[in-house]
Chains A and B, each alone.
Chain A
Amino acid sequence: MKWLRPSLSFEKLTIYLLLIFFALLFLLPTFVAINTAFKPPREIWEVTSFPSQVYLENFKEGLYKIRRGLVNSALLAFPAMLISTFIGSLAAYPLSQFKFRGDTAVYFLLLSGMYIPYQTVLIPLFFIIRRLGLYDTIPGLWLVHTAYGIPFTTLILRNFFATVPSELMEAAALDGCSLIGYYWKILLPVGRSGIAATLILQFRAIWNEFLFALTLTQSAKSMPVTVRLQSFVSMTEVHWGPLMGATLITILPIIVVFLVFKRYFVTGLIGVYK
């Protein structure tokens, strides 16, 4: 039979079918969003029907209202992603490579930051930011996201760095490599899977973050796109069409970052045996 080609084993077929099954399930809700984005206002409530025309107004209106927000979010998320991952890696290095008194305690302490509900820190946070003169600025948000990203980034990076065998460090020391050099030249490249994962997740978290963005910015010059998106929504009216249009636009940068960095999900030991 032609279709039982040797390259397509039974196992592979099952895997494909499963993947397609899940993919369809995952796509359905997104498809609803895309569907709605192309509908004129009157058709929006007909959730199960297709648009009668390709209605681009939603995208135009959506883009127009959030354009400055997109710029701000970009200025916010790209640097913040890099800085917060970097700071996390600083903490992850000693925690994963060295044993010292209280290392578990420090690790635990840093992680405990994840339990804090952000609603409760708003007021003290506001004071701190104001005292530093960073209210209503993008660098202020860099600082906030870096600080609050520490538990998250430390967690991921510490665990990925921990997979680097300790022999590597001894070998490096024998080669005359300093501890800081080890960090730059060996640990980071070897741990690049973890770093890529952290970069992607941090970017997404920062880009989509709402509460800090709302509280710590006020003027159009620094307001990120998540706050701007709210201009389609109020207590008594929701503009579904432009909201979906704008949302689809805001997804793109995250997907781009994802596509760019996921190629670094490779086994980290390849380059080492040079």
Chain B
Amino acid sequence: MKRKVLLLVVLGIFVLSGLPVFAVDTGNVVDIWHYWTAGREAQSINWLMESFRKKYPEISVEDRAIPGSTAELRQQLGVAFMGGNPPELFQVGIGYGLKSYADAGRLMPITDVWTEINGNKMFPEGIAKMIVFDNEAWAVPLNIHTINTVWYNVNIFKKYNLKEPKTWEEFKHVCRVLKEKDVEPIAAAGFWSVYALYPFLITTLGPKGYAALGQGEISFTGEKKVREAFELFKEMWVDNLMENWTGYSWAEAAQPLMKGKAAMYFCMGDWLAALLENEGMEPIKEFDFFLAPGTRNMIIGQVDALALTKGSDAPNLAKTFLEFCASTEGQRAFNRYKGSVAANLKTPSEFYGPIMSKIYHLLHKPETQFMPNLSFLMPPDFYTQFYTEIEKYAVNPTDETLDEVLNELERLRSEAFMEGKWVNWGW
């Protein structure tokens, strides 16, 4: 008995001596919250902060990595906002996500920074549209992850004399040849089906139609072209998927591609390139990409940005950090390890690897348009159910399922419309 009490006392002393001093943020620290928890992603944010510290040694900058992604980060932010101690900056997706924070009154506009750096010219138009709204600018974009890339195993294509398809007809031909040779045309993973739908939407609706869909202006059941997109999606993508694709995670599905069991990986983001390189495949020589047919003049992408909170301790210091992030120096520091392309169009390109260089050049072609991922345009409530319905169709691509799916999507669309949830981003 006595020993137990003694033990408790000793433990107590241990703990008390380890109690942190309470006031963490002294008003001179720029605190950044994000979900870049591991590997190259963690490296990229660290490198960005390091470069900033070298230039501005008198400003303290700290970060907190929250395991998970948008949902988990938002959870923690929600708690922090309630508690009155939010970080200065946090990682946010442009478009709807950003707007939800702004509408809630949780952000401080950074229009002064934006005008200073001439944001409207510095970043692609498609990005600026999703950051400047309600007459203010709200975030600084860091990078662009391209997602309309179709990755392929170069050795297989060479072996069967296949060329990068430029149209859907050519794509169909490629798949047919592969099937004859007993190679699965497309590797895929459960949960990501929605990305594969985008090129088809753009093919039938055109880029303006795609954006209009994202703004809730097109009826799923009324507009024939929507149905056409789904049918093309089935013909070109679903019917060519590898066996048991639903049982793979996106990284697991890369294995068949690497081993040559599957030839292509359709519409996965450029982080796949980082994975393949890590596993020892040589870029361009052993794996390469082409832009999905129908989207050859655009980069469909997602963008990570940093936003400034209202109610944090050091907004002015944070603004300095934001300016640095927007500069070519900052963009270079962040994107060096991230496996994405800098959002700032003026950033030099010599530090990119072969794949990223290719993307960089595509982005900088005068006719290239930047289109955001639909998830940035649509209300999250709708988008979550949207991608679930698409997955449902991909798992069971019958006409009945398509009817069900389109009807459900149309019902959700009108509901969101009644509640005024759709946003016109200016497309």
Contacts and interface: CB of A to CB of B under 8 A. Distances in A.
B251 A234 contact: no
Contact of B42 (A45, A75, A218, A234): A234
B24 interface: yes
A230 B67 contact: yes
Given A126-B82, A214-B67, A45 B279 contact: yes
Interface in B272-330: 274-275, 278-280
A130 B18 CA distance: 19
Given A127-B83, A218-B64, A233-B67, A238 B14 contact: no
B396 to A, nearest CB: 28
A239 B251 CA distance: 12
Interface string A37-71: 00001100100000000000000000000000000
Contact of B20 (A79, A215, A219, A231): A219
B14 A75 contact: yes
A236 interface: yes
Contacts of A237: 38-41, 271, 274-275
B15 interface: yes
B15 A234 contact: no
Interface string A220-233: 01100001001111
Nearest to A235: B69
Interface string B56-77: 0000000011111100000110
A222 B78 CA distance: 21
Contacts of B275: 236-237
B20 A234 contact: no
B67 A221 contact: no
A233 B37 contact: yes
Size band of the interface chain B makes with A: 35 or more
A75 B11 contact: yes
A221 B37 contact: no
B38 A233 contact: yes
A234 B82 contact: no
B38 A227 contact: no
A45 B281 CA distance: 14
Contacts of A78: 11
Contacts of B251: 238
A184 B8 CA distance: 18
Interface string B12-36: 1011001110101000000000011
B18 A221 contact: yes
Interface in B72-96: 75-76, 78-79, 82-83
Nearest to B1: A184
**What are the nearest 6 A-B pairs in CB distance?**
A230-B67, A237-B39, A234-B38, A236-B271, A234-B37, A221-B20
9 contacts: A75-B15, A122-B79, A126-B83, A139-B15, A214-B67, A219-B24, A221-B20, A233-B67, A237-B274
Given A219-B20, A239-B38, 10 more contacts: A41-B278, A42-B280, A45-B255, A79-B8, A122-B75, A214-B76, A215-B75, A234-B36, A234-B39, A237-B274
